[in-house]
Structure formats: structure tokens, C-alpha cells
Structure 1
Amino acid sequence: MTQRTTWRAVAAATGAGERSAAEAGVRLAYRRAGLREPERIMWARSPLEAARLLAAEPRPTGPSLRTAVRDRPIAAERERLHTRLGPTGWSEHWRATGADLWETTAPLVDRIRAGIVEALASGPADEPRIRVLLLDAVLGQHEAAWLSAFDTGEDSAVAGLAQVARAAGWWWPYAELAVISERPTELHRDEAGRLDRGDGPALAYPDGFALHAWRGLPVPGEFLDQLGSLTPARIRDEENAELRRVMLEHYGYDRYLAESGAKPVHRDETGVLWRIALSGDEDVAMVEVVNSTPEPDGTSRTYWLRVPPRTRTAREGVAWTFGLGAEAYAPLRQT
């Protein structure tokens, strides 16, 4: 397994953390930063529970050590590679190691932070306090993008960070106390790496902290519960345009067209253009096309193509899917 593959597995790991390895990694990270090891190490079942614990911590924790423990070592490793490889070499190295992993991990980190703020802040005025607390966190397994680009061997400056990342989730380093969070118990993503699940939480932790999403869009958990009983009327009545689009995707545009009494707006030899008018949102335009090459059983399969709302003819819509204008689209045979 390559280093790149290994760190992708770390970022997506679920299940109970390896506590002894994680705690040893925390102590090593302190020592590599020239710091005294923390007097106490505590575990939380999720980043939310860790933040709640720290927000209510009655005993002094001392100042945050995130800059010394995490920021400086990572900056030093990046600068070392940048100096050795040069600007172009570093860019190529980053693209080959952590760049695409960062693209999928950064939105997940933002979603976790937003979920914690929503759960803990008593109101808008209290949000800055929680956000500052979250800035103290080292991201554990979600530091994988950076760590995949570096040497993380025993003698490296980031060896402790790497050891914690392989064994646990987020953690908070303070002078007197370190708090380590468990990894999630569930993580569900779509092919693009976005949080995605239609029948439960897309991300869940042992204490019940969970995030629900459909193809990356945050949705309430109770919203997903009603997807199995949708009707065209219920879809039309949904006032939130983003949630209505989720409903349509789950229900199926073709099924919605068939059951909502929609009428075709244009028909030609390439197919049939349908349009769904949605209150407070742009129209949904679909072209119905029939595969002229029969299936093995002799039937012809119907396909539905989502096209821009401004589409005026079926030919224009089919041409758009090929990146062409209507006047340039003239297939010898449709397949």
C-alpha cells in the first residue's frame, strides 16, 4: 500500500481509537515541540463531547499549545520541502500527495465545526466563544492530507501528529490537559467524496453526535425519514428550494413527471422536452430520449437527461449534453 493510499484510509477510518497509541503520540508531539508532557489526558466520544467538556472544564487547562504542537512543525516541514523541491516541485509533490484528499477533507471538517457550533452555542452572541475553542483543535485523522505529503518517520518533527492521526480523531493540546476524541462510527460518502446518505446519518460518533447529508447538502435527520413516503404534492409544497431538489432526486424526475400531470413543451426526432415549474426556484428541464439500439430482449430503453432551464427544444437539450449547439448536433445514429 502506497503512502498516499495509507493516508486516505486514515482520513476515512471509523471505529474505536487505539488509545495507548494515540496517547503516546500526544506525548511525543509535546516532546518534539520542546514542551512538558500534559499532566492529564482525557478521552471524549466525539469532537462535540470534547468541546462541551472543555467549555465546562472546572480546572485550569493552561494555554492552548496548538501553535507549538501542530502549526509550527507542519509549517517547518512544508518549508523544508519547498526549499528542497522549489516552487514547481512542491506544487507537483502536493498534487501527487495531499491535494485531492484536502479537497474532500476540508468540507468535512467545516461541517463538523458547524455542527458543534450549532449544538453548543446558546445563540449568535455565543458562537464566537465556541469557534475560538474549535481553533484550538488538532484534527487528528483529518490532518491526513498534510501528513501524506511529509516524512512521518520516527525522527520527523511530525511523528507525534502522525501517530495520533493513525489512532484517533480530533484532539486538543493544552499545557495541563490534552483531550482526544474518538473517530466516527459511521462515514458515508458519494463518488465525489461528499457526505451522502438517504437512510440515516452520513457521519456519526459513539455519543450520538451525527450529521445528515444528501450529496453534500446538509439536511435535517427528520427530513430523510419522510423521503420514503413522498408524493408529487408534498414535493410541490416544500418551500425550501434545496430540500425540494433533494426530494426530486430521490423521487426520480421521470416518476415525478409521470405522476404530476406534466405536459411536454417540445417534441422532435431527438426526443421530448419536459419542463417542471417550481415555485421560488428555477424550472427543471428534462429531455426524454429513447435508445434506438434495442436491448437484448428487444425493448428500447428510455433515458432522462437533465438540461439547462433555458432549453427551448429537445434537439437543443440533447446537443447541450454533448457540448454542442443545436445547429451543430446531427448524429448519424442515436445510441
Structure 2
Amino acid sequence: MTSGNPADTAPLVDQLCARWEARAAAPDRGDAERALAELYEARGWGRPTAVVWLDSPLAGAIAARTLLYGHENIDRARHPEAYETWVAAATARLEGAYGAGAGPKPSSFEEKEPFAPRWRLPQVDSAYRLSYDLDDPDVRAVLHRVGEPAWAINTAVAARFKEEALSPGDPELFAEVGARAHDRLAEGLRAAFPAERWEAVRAAVRACAEAPRPDGWKRWRRVWEAVRAPDHPALLILAAVRGGGVPATGELQARLRMAPAVGWWWALNGVVVASPPPAEVSTDELGRLHREDGPAVRYADGFAQHCWRGRLVPPDLVDPGWGAADIVRASDEELRGRAAQRFGAASYAARLSAEDIAPDLRRCAVERLGWARFAAEAPLARVAGPVPDPGDPGCELTLHDVPAPVLGRAARVVVHSGGAADGAVVLVPADAADPVAAAGWLGHGRREPAPPPELLTRIWESEDLQHELAGLDCAMPHEHVEAVHLYCGAPLYAFAGHSTGGTYFLCGDGPRRPVLYADSEGGCQVLGRDLEEALRFMVSAAPDGDGPEDADADAAAAFGLTPLTPGEYRARKREAAAMAGALTLVMADENNAYEYRPDTWFR
């Protein structure tokens, strides 16, 4: 990263961040247009003759499509100059764009399906994804000051304007946005065309406006070839810090001036189509897109997206919210169909299976409603209670069943009624029977983290024991391939990693801390109610062919453990499955749950 004493760069970091904050608070479109022209010159493209501003990336996509195909509405025989001027001005600048030969070598899928890269949008680079050293004080300082543009790095939200353009989920909004886009385009193109050619150009724009509906992905793909992603401010600032300051001219200087005012934009030869960042962005405490009473991302023309803790959801899930009966009784296919209807046939909801999308939507909907209210209104079947809570005078605890569709796995929930914790809930294993014991199973409410298990301390301190755990890296702390957390809210401690990229976690701070294994491909498995039980499971032979064929006698002897009998092994599998729903593991960035895979740890 930076060279020399970090303290030497602190004033520059502060200066650049302050400059960014001032520009972001009052974006200057005029300066952004000048910077766009300088960027064109820095890339050897010459200066564009017009910059057309649209209120949203959806409007920008509609306008870019008109520019790329509108010449077809000009009578070339009658207006040859207008036709040629239009084609020259609207030629896409493909340098660095998807589908233009730039970037990494295509995957085998892309080689078989040559249009695959063109379906993707350029991703906004992330300081985290580029493996910047978060121990570097400059990186920490810049990210703390300017953050990450959640509206652009959230891939599901960023792709929505493309999906809406391909197949509108809201045809009325698409028509309104399209009409305004064509009006704005007609205004903006005057500077790019001589007066004697203007009438033919305006007539061509009007013809496109009268039939703005999508006409297939083969045409839209050229629109995605020409689109450019918004710049990540932290990356630009850190590049300037590493270079010792902002250069007087060139691409970095231009991009630093553009970024506060320019969101998604289209690079055409004589015309730039630019959309600004959203008019409103709402995030939660983790910086994820989130709003409980409206859209988390809203553009000036009404194009908006609703998100729940980073996950894109149908608007009615947030406002007014789904009812408890709807959450429980609607089938997976019904919920998928509801989302697909709202987002359109080209959306993620239409592409995913019902089993992939419905549990995540249900989980978000229950959070929006509130678990205590959900338990009362569903209603959830009562298993036990109410019984007095010995730790909270005046509080009663009731244990309810949570149907498997709600979380994708069966679970139970303890609801607190009255007392200091009135309305609080605790997700617990599906085989829990005693409300009092279940309420404290992960140490909920504990003020201090529990110490590492004695057996784990022995492993960390003994190279011989680490050797017995073939394929494991027992360094502490350990980082998983992505940020994750337990849906139930209990703390999660990574204590070891596997050579395949998976991670072993201790869950909660209770008297027994379950062990959860998460692989690097979105799967997870519960291994036991505590570390000793998990290790016994791991060194034992599977009786049914769904695990190791042979027991690891050497490892068992080293730890002083007895391998499980076939009957015990099956019982441990059942107990682990009962804990799976209560230990739902969620990807932090976009609020997707891991899939429970009961044999992932040994693969």
C-alpha cells in the first residue's frame, strides 16, 4: 500500500476525503461534464459533443437504446447527413467494456455461450474485494470517511435497471420513465447535430418514444456493452494517496471530479448518457441497503428498490408488509411468483427456483412483522408453557413450533411475555422441550464472551493435535471467505479453517457451544452440540455411506475420544439437523441464508 511512515499520509487522506465529502454534498454537473470530456481525451477518444443527463439508470438505458438504434427511423435516402451524423455520434466506445475482449479470460460457460458476458454489468470495484490491507491506517481512514456505495456494489440492486429494461415488472413506470427520457434526450441532442439536420433527428427520437417497449435481449446487449459502472470513491482516493496526490491532468483527476455526480453512464462516441447517484439511499447499522417503511434506493424519476438488510425484496414485503398467515400458508412457488411478477421475467426472482428464493423472503417478512407478533398471529403451535422465567420476574416463557418453510428447516422459538424482556424471542432447536432450558441454550443475554473450550486451547497449543486434524488450519483468529452471522443474533467465533476454504465456528456463549461448519460455496452443517461432540462425530465412521467410511482411530486416540457407534452416529445426525434451523447462517452483505448440507464438512 502506501510507502513511508503512515503518519506522513494522514494529512493527504484527510484533505482528499474532505474534498470528496464537499463534492458529494453538492454535486456539480458542470464540472462533471468537463471531467467526462477530459476522461475522453485521456483515453484518446476526443471530446463528446453532448452529455445527456437522465434521472435514473433505467432512463439512461432507455435513452442509450434509442441512441444505438434510432438511426433506423431516419430515411437515409432523404437525410443522408443526419443518418451518418447519428451513427457516428452513437457508436459505442467499447474499450474496457464487457463483451469487448477486456477483463479476465472467459469461463468455460462463457466460451459455450458467447453472449453470457454481455448479460453482466461491470461491477463497482470494492476496496474489500480488491484485497486491500484493512490493517493499513490509510485504508481504514478512507473507508471510515467515505464508505462504500451500497446502492452500486449490491449486485442484485445494481442490476435492477437492466432487468426492468429487458422485461418491465412495472410497465406503467417503464412508460413514464421512457417518455421523460425521450423528452430529455431530444433536448440534449441539439448540441450534437447541426440545425439543418435537427428535424430528422427529432422525428427519429419521437418515433422511438412512441414505441419504447423492449424488443429482445439481442438488441439490449449493445446497451450493456456501452455502460460504465459508478466509480468507488475509496479506490480513487487511495490511488491518489499512493501516488502522493491528485495529478493535474489525466484519468485519475477526471474520475475524482466525476464520481460525486455520476452514477451509471454510457460511453458513446459523440454523446455521453449519464445518470446521477440515487436521490435517496437508506442503510442499516452494517451499511447494508435497508428501510422499514419504503424504498431503500430511490431515483428522482420514481425508479426505486426495496431492500431488507441488504436483500432486494418485493415492495409489498416492506410496505405494508406480509401478514403472518401469508408467510406460513403461501407455497414457495406462490412467493416466487409474487416476486417474479413484481420484478419481471428477466429478474433474479424469475431465474431462481422457488426453493432458493422463498425461505429468504419468508425470513425477511417475519423480521418485518416481528417474531413475537408472528408467533401470535400465525399462530404457531404451542409446545410448552407459559412458565415463569426464573431470571426475569414477571416474565413468562412459551415454546412454539416454527414450521420448516419459514426458515427452510424446522425450528422452535421461545417467546418472552411480560417482564424486562417482554416481546423478545429466541430461536432454539426443533427438539427443544423445556422453555427455560431452551431460552438460554446459546447464552443469550450473557455480557462477557465465554472463554475458549479447554479442548480447543489444547489443540492450539499442541502441534501433535493439530497434525491429527488433517486439512485443518487451527490458527486463531480465522476469517471466513465472506462475512457471515447467525440469524438468531448469537455471536459466532471462527476457530479453524479447512484447506478447501471452509471455516469451523463456535456458536454463542452458552454452557455448550455448538460447532457449525461453513464451506466456501454457500453450504453449512452442524457438527455437534459442543466441540468434544463435534470431534467425536468427525473421527467416526458413517454407517449409511453419508460420511467417512472408516473411523480415524489415530485422531480419536490423540484426543482421548471414543468413536461413535452406528446408533450414536445416527442420533448425532438427528440432533444436528434439529439445531440447523435455529443456527441459520446468513451472508452479511446481501442477507442470503446458507444451504444446510449435512455432509459438507468431509468433502
TM-score by length of 1: 0.72
Which of 212, 228, 234 in structure 2 is aligned with 1:138? 228
Instruction: Identify the residue that residue 246 of structure 2 maps to in structure 1.
Output: 153
Instruction: Identify the residue that residue 117 of structure 1 maps to in structure 2.
Output: 162
Give 1:187 deviation, angstroms.
1.0
Kept in 2, the 8 Å contact 1:10–1:144? The answer is no
Instruction: Identify the residue that residue 294 of structure 1 maps to in structure 2.
Output: none
Equivalent pairs counted in the alignment come to 301
Which of 409, 417, 433 in structure 2 is aligned with 1:282? 409
Q: Quote the Cα distance in structure 2 between the aligned partners of 1:150 and 1:3.
A: 14
Q: 1:248 to 1:112 in 2, by over 3 A?
A: closer
Q: 1:50 to 1:188 in 2, by over 3 A?
A: same
Q: Quote the Cα distance in structure 2 between the aligned partners of 1:309 and 1:127.
A: 47
Instruction: Identify the residue that residue 493 of structure 2 maps to in structure 1.
Output: none
Letter of the 1:285 partner, please give it: R
Give 1:107 deviation, angstroms.
3.5
Instruction: Identify the residue that residue 333 of structure 1 maps to in structure 2.
Output: none
Instruction: Identify the residue that residue 424 of structure 2 maps to in structure 1.
Output: 304
**Which string of whole-angstrom CA distances, capped at 9 and with x for unpartnered residues, describes residues 110-158 of structure 1?**
2344212221115999446545533533334x42232131216252541
Kept in 2, the 8 Å contact 1:38–1:177? The answer is yes
Q: Quote the Cα distance in structure 1 between the aligned partners of 2:510 and 2:273.
A: 59
**Which string of whole-angstrom CA distances, capped at 9 and with x for unpartnered residues, describes residues 157-203 of structure 1?**
41111111122322222222211112211111111222212322211
Kept in 2, the 8 Å contact 1:66–1:172? The answer is no
Task: Give the match's secondary structure for 1:183.
Answer: coil
Higher relative contact order (CA 8 A, sep 6+): 1
Q: Quote the Cα distance in structure 2 between the aligned partners of 1:190 and 1:218.
A: 14
In the TM superposition, 1:150-189 aligns within 5 A as 150-151=239-240, 153-155=246-248, 157=250, 158-189=252-283
Q: Quote the Cα distance in structure 1 between the aligned partners of 2:401 and 2:409.
A: 10
In the TM superposition, 1:1-335 aligns within 5 A as 2=14, 6=18, 17-57=27-67, 58=70, 59-60=86-87, 61-64=90-93, 66-67=95-96, 92=136, 95-96=139-140, 97=142, 101-102=147-148, 104=150, 107-108=153-154, 110-122=155-167, 126-127=216-217, 130=220, 133-140=223-230, 142-151=231-240, 153-155=246-248, 157=250, 158-227=252-321, 231-239=323-331, 240=335, 241-259=359-377, 260=379, 262-265=381-384, 272-279=398-405, 281-288=408-415, 300-302=420-422, 304-310=424-430, 312=432, 314=435, 315=437, 318-321=440-443, 323-324=508-509, 326-327=511-512
Kept in 2, the 8 Å contact 1:201–1:212? The answer is yes
Q: 1:202 to 1:95 in 2, by over 3 A?
A: same
Q: Quote the Cα distance in structure 1 between the aligned partners of 2:430 and 2:16.
A: 43
Task: Give the match's secondary structure for 1:30.
Answer: helix
Kept in 1, the 8 Å contact 2:383–2:399? The answer is yes
| Larger mean Cα displacement after TM superposition, 119-128 or 159-168 | 119-128
Q: 1:216 to 1:10 in 2, by over 3 A?
A: farther
Give 1:243 deviation, angstroms.
2.8
Kept in 1, the 8 Å contact 2:278–2:298? The answer is yes
Letter of the 1:39 partner, please give it: T
Percent identity, please: 24
Gaps of 5+ in 1: 73-77, 79-86, 292-298, 330-335
Task: Give the match's secondary structure for 2:96.
Answer: helix
Task: Give the match's secondary structure for 2:46.
Answer: coil
Task: Give the match's secondary structure for 2:426.
Answer: strand
Task: Give the match's secondary structure for 2:374.
Answer: helix
Task: Give the match's secondary structure for 1:245.
Answer: helix
Q: Quote the Cα distance in structure 2 between the aligned partners of 1:55 and 1:328.
A: 56
Give 1:286 deviation, angstroms.
2.5
Q: 1:131 to 1:10 in 2, by over 3 A?
A: farther
Kept in 2, the 8 Å contact 1:199–1:224? The answer is yes
Q: 1:10 to 1:195 in 2, by over 3 A?
A: farther
Kept in 1, the 8 Å contact 2:440–2:510? The answer is no
Q: Quote the Cα distance in structure 1 between the aligned partners of 2:133 and 2:360.
A: 42
Give 1:205 deviation, angstroms.
1.2
Q: Quote the Cα distance in structure 2 between the aligned partners of 1:218 and 1:88.
A: 27
Kept in 1, the 8 Å contact 2:51–2:274? The answer is yes
Q: Quote the Cα distance in structure 1 between the aligned partners of 2:21 and 2:360.
A: 31
Kept in 2, the 8 Å contact 1:171–1:179? The answer is yes
Q: Quote the Cα distance in structure 2 between the aligned partners of 1:90 and 1:132.
A: 38
Give 1:9 deviation, angstroms.
5.1
Q: 1:174 to 1:206 in 2, by over 3 A?
A: same
Compute the RMSD of aligned alpha carbons: 4.1
Q: Quote the Cα distance in structure 2 between the aligned partners of 1:113 and 1:94.
A: 28
Q: 1:222 to 1:310 in 2, by over 3 A?
A: closer
Q: 1:113 to 1:106 in 2, by over 3 A?
A: closer
Kept in 2, the 8 Å contact 1:287–1:318? The answer is no
Task: Give the match's secondary structure for 1:189.
Answer: coil
Instruction: Identify the residue that residue 81 of structure 1 maps to in structure 2.
Output: none
Letter of the 2:14 partner, please give it: T
Q: 1:5 to 1:257 in 2, by over 3 A?
A: farther
Q: Quote the Cα distance in structure 2 between the aligned partners of 1:220 and 1:290.
A: 32
Larger radius of gyration: 2
Q: 1:156 to 1:102 in 2, by over 3 A?
A: farther
**Which string of whole-angstrom CA distances, capped at 9 and with x for unpartnered residues, describes residues 272-301 of structure 1?**
54332244732343334589xxxxxxx543
Q: Quote the Cα distance in structure 2 between the aligned partners of 1:8 and 1:285.
A: 49
Letter of the 2:55 partner, please give it: R
Kept in 2, the 8 Å contact 1:212–1:221? The answer is yes
Instruction: Identify the residue that residue 191 of structure 2 maps to in structure 1.
Output: none
